[in-house]
A and B are shown apart, each in its own frame.
Chain A
Amino acid sequence: MAAQNLKHALFCAFITVIIAYPILGLNLVAEGTSVKLEGANTATVVNVFLAAVAVFLFQVFRDNIMGVFGKVPNLNPLAKRGPVPQEKRLLMERVFFVAIILLALIWPFIVSRGAVDLATLVLIYIMLALGLNVVVGLAGLLDLGYVAFYAVGAYTFALLSQYFGISFWLALPIGALLAALFGFVLGFPVLRLRGDYLAIVTLGFGEIIRILLNNWTSLTGGPNGIGGIPDPTLFGMEFGRRVKEEGNVSFHETFGIAYSGEHKVIFLYLIALVLAIFTLLVIRRFMRMPVGRAWEALREDEIAARSLGMSRTAVKLSAFTIGAFFAGFAGTVFASKQGFISPESFVFLESAIILAIVVLGGMGSQVGVILAAIAVTILPELAREFSEYRMLIFGAAMVLMMVWRPQGLLPMRRIQIELKEQG
């Protein structure tokens, strides 16, 4: 046991050195036209060495340290309690939703423009996470390329507006349906795969879409992206200082108020809020419908589900398509918010972040996912000084979560159908 620990610890320390030294220590220095490799300075060498020692010590005393972790009282007060009766739980959830929606409604009128903008981003992530939650949390399919459907939604709007002058409101359903179609077409061959294989194929798909967008320069503008994406209008009223399109009127003139850039930001926020609530309610309804029960049944016992005539492909495909649909939704809003999109917004890291939100939130639980989306989007903004270490903090948070609450913030408790007394 001890010897094994020692060996393992030595190995870990060794890996630390060979990974950390080249990354932190070696520098490429441009000297005129040639590039020279420069060795590490003493401080870095010492630091890498100290890091290796730290890793070594941690691995040697790993059991003891983890033991202490286990003794730390559980930080989450909900953890030790038994299951709450369904009615009470539903009531609590409803109170939570109403409270957060009320807060969200007054939010734009009490905070700065930047905070409203950030809140819009949070709402977009909530939509994405709720959508991915269907795929990962409810249907149990590990999708690492979810961002592809987000990109489909965003690019659909960008391209439609660029080439056909189609407005936000028309592009919204088209983008979502097109993303859903992509989900359906991709899912059809792929959903036969299981677990890890599915994860790898979806990962590949996400990258293919991004690379396609990057290289199909004639259509998508490649890495330069697409700009000039119009803002949403309110019954034909534009929010810009001047009306861009013939026949439209501007919002501030209609109401006879002074122009303010804030109107637009708030309007976009409210649209995102409405769509996020729509997403929440629709998915909540799905969970209580036959399709929601089918997801659960197939996840719990696939063989039993199939023996009752349930087609694995059809059921999983429905989850995949629905998830993609809401990603398309979020993508359209995102394109409209940014006014400019490029493939850079749809890298694998985005998929990873959305997945992390779902996992942190507690797979399947909508309340948990919403809280996690808020936390994951806002915390990095609050800790701007540490933005370089964002991924590091993120990783550390994930590790801590896995130690303390592997089931996520609020693990899912499905809404169960009850048979009422016959009366």
Chain B
Amino acid sequence: MLEVQNLSMRFGGLLAVDQVSVDVQEHEIVSIIGPNGAGKTTVFNCISGFYKPTGGKILFQGQEIQGKPDYKISRLGMVRTFQHVRLFSKMTVVENLLVAQHRHLNTNLLAGLLKTPDYREREKKSLERARYWLERVGLIDMANWEAGNLAYGQQRRLEIARCMVTEPQLLMLDEPAAGLNPAETKELDQLIVSLKEDYNVSVLLIEHDMSLVMGISDRINVINQGRPLASGTPEEIRQNDDVIKAYLGEA
């Protein structure tokens, strides 16, 4: 469903991403790994429309989307999380989920003022959807807390729930396990697999935690200093000499 072809992104003199290609099929978890500063987040930013790529093509469901504004890309059905959690921290947990569903709501001002049946109906449905996902990620007891008061791991889960209420086809997660303890990482592992299995969402994942990546990915792309280094199944990547060298050299 997503096809990134020869993507390049230049910041002034720095070629942060150089001819990177990634593709994600339906019902698949694909990971991007690479050392710090390799350009992984930049790839995400290009796909999600935050940066306008300086070269290459991005196709989503067969439609070219490079250079489109970010909010339009998101509406096509691919949403992302951020490396540094970005919640609406002064809003409550449930409100975070309502904001995300604004496109499912009746945003007609008059309908809202008059509380038309359609308006109420949709408002109720989105509250139900929010409740469902809060239960799913284990945050239902904190529903009325301000999001900024959640623990770090909870914030990460809320961010994923916030993506899921938009009912995306492709979920892009930027280092979702960063800052989580081993127990939380394991929960996250199960959550991501379940998103794919039970909700038929494809996942594009950036992650440093190797056991997580190797465990759940269908395919892995490795980039190093902006350039593609290798791609294949976890097994192939584990045995790839270039990858081993790059990672050992890094460490």
Report which A residues bind B (CB closer than 8 A).
Answer: 282, 285-286, 289-291, 293-294, 296-297, 300-301, 303-312, 318, 322, 414, 416-419, 422
Q: Enumerate chain B residues within 8 angstroms of A291, measured Cβ to Cβ.
A: 107, 109, 112
Is B21 an interface residue, CB under 8 A from the partner?
no
Q: How far is the CA of A418 from the CA of B134 in the complex (A)?
A: 13
Q: Which residue of B lies closest to A294 (CB)?
A: B102
Determine the distance from Cα of A300 to Cα of B147 in the docked complex, in whole angstroms: 12
CB distance A419 to B102 under 8 Å? Answer: no
Interface assignment of B65: CB less than 8 Å from any CB of chain A? no
A416 touches B91 (CB 8 A): yes
Contact of A296 among B88, B106, B134 (CB under 8 A): B88
What are 12 pairs between A and B in contact, CB < 8 Å? A290-B105, A291-B112, A296-B91, A300-B90, A305-B99, A307-B70, A308-B74, A308-B100, A308-B166, A417-B95, A419-B130, A419-B131
Q: Which residues of A contact B127 (CB under 8 A)?
A: 419
Closest 4 CB pairs of A and B: A304-B86, A289-B112, A309-B74, A419-B143
Beta-carbon contact of B71 and A301 below 8 Å = no
Instruction: Chain A residues near B162: list those with CB within 8 A.
Output: 308
- List 14 other contacts, CB 8 Å, given A290-B106, A294-B99, A417-B94: A285-B112, A291-B107, A291-B109, A293-B91, A293-B99, A294-B102, A296-B90, A296-B91, A308-B99, A308-B166, A309-B74, A318-B109, A414-B90, A419-B94
Closest to B80 in A: A307
- CB of B113 closer than 8 Å to a CB of A: yes
Q: Report B71-93 residues with CB < 8 Å from chain A CB.
A: 71-72, 74-75, 79-80, 82, 86-92
Instruction: Point out the residues of chain A lying under 8 angstroms from B231, CB to CB.
Output: none
Q: Is the CB of B112 within 8 A of A304?
A: no
User: What CA separation (Å) do A309 and B69 show in the bound complex?
Assistant: 10
Please provide the chain B residues from 91 to 147 with a CB less than 8 Å away from any CB of chain A in the complex: 91-92, 94-95, 98-100, 102-103, 105-107, 109, 112-113, 127, 130-131, 134, 143-144
Residue in B69, B90, B131 with the greatest tally of chain A CB atoms within 10 Å: B90
| Given A304-B86, A309-B103, A310-B102, A416 and B109 contact (CB-CB distance below 8 Å) | no
- Residues of A near B134 (CB, < 8 A) are 419
Determine whether the beta carbon of A309 is less than 8 Å from that of B92.
Answer: no
Residues A418 and B86 in contact, CB atoms below 8 Å apart: no
Is B80 a contact partner of A282 (Cβ separation < 8 A)?
Answer: no
The CA-CA distance from A318 to B109 in the complex, in Å, is 9
User: Does B41 sit within 8 A of A, measured CB to CB?
Assistant: no
- Cα of A416 to Cα of B166 in the assembled complex, Å: 21
Q: Is B8 an interface residue (CB 8 A)?
A: no
Distance (whole angstroms) from the CB of A323 to the closest CB of chain B: 13
Asked if B113 contacts A285 (CB within 8 A), the reply is: yes
Are B70 and A290 in contact, CB atoms less than 8 angstroms apart? no
Instruction: Give Cα A306 to B103, complex, Å.
Output: 12
A306 touches B71 (CB 8 A): yes
Which A-chain residue is minimally distant from B165 (CB atoms)?
A308
CA distance A165 to B161 in the complex (A): 58
Chain A residues near B88: list those with CB within 8 A: 296-297, 300-301, 304-305
B contact set with A: CB distance below 8 Å: 48, 50, 69-72, 74-75, 79-80, 82, 86-92, 94-95, 98-100, 102-103, 105-107, 109, 112-113, 127, 130-131, 134, 143-144, 162-163, 166
How distant is A310 from chain B, measured CB to nearest CB, in Å?
A: 6
CB within 8 Å for A307 and B92 given contacts A285-B113, A290-B98, A419-B144: no
Q: From residue B145, how far is it (CB to closest CB) to chain A in Å?
A: 10
| Least CB separation from B130: chain A residue | A419
- Residues on A with C-beta less than 8 A from B166 are 308-309
A297 to B48, CA, bound (A): 19
Q: Say whether, besides A303-B86, A310-B102, A419-B94, A290 and B107 are in contact (CB < 8 Å).
A: yes
**Other-chain contact of A290, B48, B94, B102 (Cβ < 8 Å):** B102
Q: How far is the CA of A100 from the CA of B74 in the complex (A)?
A: 46
Do residues A293 and B102 form an inter-chain contact, with CB atoms below 8 A?
yes
Cβ–Cβ contact B144 & A416, under 8 A: yes
Contact B91 A297 (CB under 8 A): yes
Closest CB-CB distance, B188 to chain A, in whole Å? 20
Whole-angstrom distance from the CB of B167 to the nearest CB of chain A?
Answer: 11
Question: How far is B141's CA from A422's CA once the two chains are assembled, in angstroms?
Answer: 12
On whether the beta carbons of A307 and B74 are closer than 8 Å, the reply is: yes
Chain B proximity of A279: nearest CB distance (Å): 13
Please name all residues of chain A whose beta carbon is closer than 8 Å to the beta carbon of B130 when the two chains form the complex.
419
A308 to B91, CA, bound (A): 15
* Chain A residues whose CB sits within 8 angstroms of the CB of B91 once the complex forms: 293, 296-297, 300, 414, 416
Docked complex Cα distance between A309 and B68 (Å):
12
Check A416 against B70 for contact (C-beta < 8 Å).
no
Q: Give the Cβ gap from B43 to chain A, nearest Cβ, in Å.
A: 15
Q: Smallest Cβ distance from A187 to chain B, in angstroms?
A: 15
Closest to B74 in A: A309
Most central of A286, A308, A312 by chain B CB within 10 Å: A308
The interface residues of chain A lying within 8 Å CB-to-CB of B48 are: 307
Residues of B within 8 A of A414 (CB): 90-91
